[in-house]
């Protein structure tokens, strides 16, 4: 019996799973929220501890260290930081519309999910260039 169970596929198997925009956006909303909250707390503790451990986390020092990077690295860093933030904010507006008890049909969820992806891409593209 144990040998037969070992041969069974994992359910649902990721190789045959069809990703849906609703589940992906829900997961990304949670991941970005937890990531930014955790980053905020870690930076706050590091900022408070910086005088005691000899770190310079002033805005001037951070800006100078980022300015010393190559332009391509600066743009990549902007993209990596701005994309989750923009996605979380724009998808948050989508969730606020759901608080009004509107848009719970499948077509609206798919359409607004792709609109969030498009708007995030446009906003982050602009933020990366500027």
DSSP track, the chain: -HHHHHHSPPSS-TTT----HHHHHHHHHHHHHHHHHHHHHHHHHHHHHHHHHT----HHHHHHHHHTS-HHHHHHHHHHHHHHHHHHHHHHHHHHHHTTT---SHHHHHHHHHHHHHHHHHHHHHHHH-
Q: Say if residues 109 and 22 touch (Cβ distance below 8 Å).
A: yes
Tokens, residue 127: 């933020």
Q: Is the pLDDT of residue 13 over 70?
A: no
Q: Is the pLDDT of residue 15 over 80?
A: no
Q: Is-above-0.85 flag for pTM?
A: no
CATH number of 21-129: 1.20.1300.10
Segment 72-110, tens digit of pLDDT:
999 999 999 999 999 999 999 999 988 888 878 889 999
| Rounded percentage of the chain residues whose pLDDT exceeds 90 | 71
Boundaries of every domain in the chain: 21-129
pLDDT, position 76: 95
Mean pLDDT of the 33-49 span? 96
88 is in an annotated binding site: yes
């Amino acid at each position: 019996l144990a040998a037969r169970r070992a041969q069974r596929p994992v359910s649902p198997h990721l190789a045959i799973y069809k990703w849906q925009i609703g589940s992906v956006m829900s997961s990304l909303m949670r991941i970005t929220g937890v990531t930014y909250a955790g980053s905020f707390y870690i930076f706050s503790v590091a900022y408070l501890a910086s005088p005691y451990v000899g770190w310079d986390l002033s805005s001037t020092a951070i800006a100078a260290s980022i300015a010393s990077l190559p332009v391509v690295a600066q743009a990549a860093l902007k993209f990596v930081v701005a994309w989750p933030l923009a996605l979380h904010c724009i998808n948050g507006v989508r969730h606020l519309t759901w608080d009004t008890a509107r848009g719970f049909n499948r077509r609206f969820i798919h359409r607004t999910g792709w609109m969030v992806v498009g708007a995030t891409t446009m906003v982050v593209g602009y933020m990366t260039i500027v």
